[in-house]
Amino acid sequence: MQTDSSFTFVLFGGTGDLSMRKILPALFEAHRAGGMLAESGKIFAVARHVADRAGYLEWVNEHVKPHVSKNGLDETAWASFLDRIEFVKIDLGKPEDFVLLRDAISGLPGIRVFYLATGPSLFVPICHALASVGLNENSRIVLEKPLGYDLKSSNAINDAVGEIFAEEQIYRIDHYLGKEPVQNLLALRFGNVLFEPLWRREWVESIQITIAEELGVEARGDFYDNTGALRDMVQNHLLQLLSIVAMEPPHSMDSDSVRDEKLRVLRALKPIDPRDIGKVAVRGQYHAGVIRGHAVPAYATEPGVKPDSTTETFVALKVEIENWRWAGVPFFLRTGKRLADRVAEIVVNFRAVPHSALGASALRGGANRLVIRLQPNETIRLYCLAKQPGEGMNLASVHLDLAFDRFFREGQMEAYQRLLLDVINGRLALFVRRDEQEAAWRWVEPILNEWAASNKPPKPYAAGTWGPAAASAMLAQHGTCWLEEEN
């Protein structure tokens, strides 16, 4: 992915956790790879917690280096990366300070990228301040989630940002769309004749999408207690992955063709009747438990969390898509904190053969499945039945590994690295369009409203487990189970 595109990358929230753990490490990896970032490209960090460039570089050395030196750090590349970085001290509450930013970057060649690694309450003020000094021209703006609290607040932010930046200038980032296995899912489906004929209701029994975390809310208790798992993970990450899995083949891989097909999926989601929410939606909240031998506290005792909080830290949903390809196929979505393992995966369970001369094991649904693992190790596995060695026709499950590292010498690109390069180079396909976001909010809101109106607390589950038993019972009603329960 070579580029000659000159750019100025302006990072708001330049001392924040996201900038330290993800954004700057991703830019460093692109820099170290050589040829991915134009040599003239500059990075301007914006913050008010340090005094000057020297202080900021000291901050970067302390907080970014640990995230880029796990496999050894090339000190020469690191030093040349730091040469790209400039610093502008700005109080985001003072629009007049943005003159300092304008003066610092005026005259620099190429596109301007403004990355808003801040809270969503600052998105609109920052955009207005950029426009007030003429920095909304020849520019792109990256918005981190969460973009609003509900459909109304999301529309308010989009309306305000849309008055300043055109839709093609706005990059709403969802880093799961930049992960290598998601890209390979598109390649498998649309680059090979093998899977596409099977990718439909006649041959698929069910699909599971899981994003599980071992961590709790950490230092984000104040934020999370006003958000919850449905807003934090389902409305964006899980529904975006669902739309990628279920979309029709696009006309091409250009940005609007891909996003048009994703939008069709989101608009085809079967609305959840509030009377049925107890059957198709499970919400839970973790209590004290043990993870990898360490005792962890209950959610309600975490710093910043109200002791009587009814915020969900776990969600499991049964989702249906009302179109010809997927009618009747259940999609099971699940996400949670303080679960038994850190894993993100997509499981496509194919139907059993209609008749088998080889025994009952061949008639079991899910004997053939495709497992796309997004984290912690990014792999794709195709499971099938094979004869066990020895006497008799005894079948056992085996898997074929799609080990891309054996075929390609280049290492896998991290999600943020891919997406940041796409922003710099003007590729929108892996970013969320406004109408996609609105469709997701419209589908999620009835669940939010019903839970808010209900007096029922979330179902408890012990930290270090896979969530409330009700999530397993929901799948059992459909004659299936979560992947880890089968294993």
Catalytic sites, residue numbers: 237
CA distances from 287 to 3, 66, 244, 339, 469 (A): 50, 32, 34, 11, 14
- 254 known ligand binder: no
The DSSP code for 265 is H
Structural element, H or E, at residue 461: strand 459-462
3-state secondary structure of 70: coil
Kindly state the tokens that stand for 46. 């914006």
* Phi (first) and psi of residue 208, to 5 degrees: -115, 140
Cβ contact 424:9 at 8 Å: yes
Joined together, the tokens standing for residue 174 give 């969802």
Residue with tokens 């710093």: 303
Report residue 240: phi and psi, to 5°: -65, -45
Three-class DSSP category at 92: coil
| Token reading at 290 | 């043990």
405 is annotated as contributing to ligand binding: no
145 is in an annotated binding site: yes
State yes or no: 220 annotated in a binding site: no
Of 292, 376, 378, the C-alpha closest to 339 is 292
Integer angstrom CA distances of residue 354 from 177, 205, 350, 362, 364: 35, 13, 12, 9, 10
Amino acid at 317: L
179 is in an annotated binding site: yes
89 labeled part of a ligand binding site: no
Angle 232-237-241 from CA coordinates, rounded to 5°: 155
294 is in an annotated binding site: no
| Preceding omega of 181 cis (within 30 degrees of 0) | no
Q: How far apart are CA 65 and CA 69, in angstroms?
A: 6
Binding-site sequence positions for substrate: 175, 179, 213, 232, 337
Binding-site sequence positions: 48, 91-92, 145, 175, 179, 213, 232, 337
Binding-site sequence positions for NADP(+): 48, 91-92, 145
